[in-house]
């Protein structure tokens, strides 16, 4: 299973609710998101881009890595892979990603009683 590739947003659910839950109230939600993943073994570079904004993290599965949130804050967390699913516990949410056929499925679930799950499906281009 190789995540390598470029993926374009196909559909998403609960994006605005998720942004509100993590405090990004002014973020735009009407843009086309492009995700680029470069994988070499257990080493990844994961980049998401929209016009005028790019967010990127480099990490190695099975190690604690220094990562950056969408708001630019740095933190350390282990990156795990169970089966074909990558998981990272960000400060405000749990991020998971898996590749099913040529679709990249990403979920972000906030913690707490009123947890919000944001789901994004992107197609390989």
pLDDT digits (tens, 9 = 90+) for 71-94: 889 999 999 999 889 999 999 899
pLDDT score of 24: 77
pLDDT score of 26: 66
Domain extents in the chain? 5-124
Task: Identify the CA nearest to 60 among candidates 49, 76, 48.
Answer: 76
SS3 at position 16? helix
What are the backbone angles phi and psi of residue 8, rounded to the nearest 5°? -115, 140
- CATH number of the structural domain 5-124: 2.40.128.20
Q: Which pTM value belongs to this model?
A: 0.87
For the chain, residues with pLDDT lower than 70 are 1, 25-30
- What is the full DSSP assignment across 20-65? HHHT-TT---SS--EEEEEEETTEEEEEEEETTEEEEEEEETTSEE
């Amino acid at each position: 299973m190789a995540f390598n590739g470029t993926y374009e947003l196909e559909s998403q659910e609960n994006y605005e609710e998720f942004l509100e839950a993590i405090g990004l109230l002014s973020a735009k939600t009407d843009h086309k998101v492009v995700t680029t993943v470069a994988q070499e073994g257990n080493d990844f570079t994961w980049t998401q881009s929209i016009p005028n904004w790019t967010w990127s993290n480099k990490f190695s599965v099975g190690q604690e890595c220094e990562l950056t949130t969408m708001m630019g804050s740095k933190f350390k967390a282990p990156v795990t892979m169970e089966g074909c699913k990558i998981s990272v516990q960000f400060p405000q949410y749990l991020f998971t990603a898996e590749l099913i056929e040529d679709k990249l499925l990403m979920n972000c679930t906030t913690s707490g009683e009123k947890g919000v799950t944001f789901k994004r499906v992107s197609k390989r281009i």
